[in-house]
Amino acid sequence: MELLHKTALVTGSTKGIGKAIAKELAKEGVNILINGRNYEEVERTIQEIKSEFPLTSPQNAIADIVDVQQREELFKRFPNVDILVNNMGIYEIMQYEDVTDEIWQKYFETNVLAANGLCKHYLPKMLDNNDGRIIFIASEEAVMPSGQMPQYSMTKSMLLSLAKSLSILTKGTEVTVNTILPGPTLSENVQDIIEGIYIDENITFSEKEKQFMINNLPQSEIQRFIRPIEIGKLAAFLCSPYASAFRASPIRMDGGMVPTIF
């Protein structure tokens, strides 16, 4: 994909979708800055990537990226990146009545402001280099709020708007800013939730997955959870020079969750 020796910061890359994106980029020869808040998890992920892709140099980019001070320290350690994947995000099913002002604020700070803080630092440098990629990981909830997590859907819609505002700044350059909208994806977190729901049933995970889909996500056309690697491969392509014409695109990889054409 012509990504050899690029450097990428993938936020929240010790688990789930972020880790899968990190691995797919490493497969292309990208040096990944592994981010998460837990030192052991970050180091474990680095060792895993080093042993699978020995020609790359993954590095420890531990930081709570919601914390402004820790973001500043991260910038000192890694002033430049070629690729920024804003993957980290929190989600939780909640009733609208239970979402307090503090919770709205927390979701805004975690899912939007943290990513924006990173863009604000790295985008100008990418523009100076006339080369760079920024990807936001949103959700199908960005364009089709289910009503089951209003505090989350709002932040994911905001990312689409932010991506367009930033993309306008890239005019005439080879820098791109895009958003991937994954549908329900089998991160470790989601797998634990499914296992928990069917804890008393003596059936395989694949049967649990099938039942969950029929009972909870009947509108999904794929009728299974998307695998993180599928999102990872899409992200790697978007980072390549062959994807320069994607500009502020909301790219749905949602298993057919959204019932409309656009």
Ligand X SMILES: NC(=O)c1ccc[n+]([C@@H]2O[C@H](COP(=O)([O-])OP(=O)(O)OC[C@H]3O[C@@H](n4cnc5c(N)ncnc54)[C@H](OP(=O)(O)O)[C@@H]3O)[C@@H](O)[C@H]2O)c1
Q: Which residues bind ligand X (CB under 6 A)?
A: 11-18, 35-38, 41, 64-66, 87-89, 91, 137, 139, 182, 184-185, 187-190
- Please say which residue, 146 or 240, places its beta carbon nearer to ligand X: 146
Q: What share of the chain is helix, strand, coil (3-state, %, to 5)?
A: 50, 15, 40
Name beta bridge partners: 179.
136, 250
Name beta bridge partners: 60.
34
**Structure tokens belonging to residue 181:** 């909208």
Annotated catalytic residue, options 39, 96, 107, 152: 152
- Please say which residue, 1 or 138, places its beta carbon nearer to ligand X: 138
Q: Are 220 and 257 in contact (CB under 8 A)?
A: yes
- Please say which residue, 43 or 64, places its beta carbon nearer to ligand X: 64
CB of 248 to ligand X, least distance (A): 18
Find the distance separating the first CA and the last CA of the chain, reported in whole Å: 28
- Measured CA to CA, the distance from residue 96 to residue 156 in angstroms comes to 16
CB of 168 to ligand X, least distance (A): 23
CB of 110 to ligand X, least distance (A): 6
- Please say which residue, 202 or 206, places its beta carbon nearer to ligand X: 206
57 burial via Cβ count (<10 Å: 0-12, 13-18, 19+): middle
Tell me whether residue 152 is one of the annotated catalytic residues.
yes
CB of 79 to ligand X, least distance (A): 19
Name the nearest CA neighbour of 81 among 37, 45, 115, 126.
126
Tell me the catalytic residues.
Answer: 152
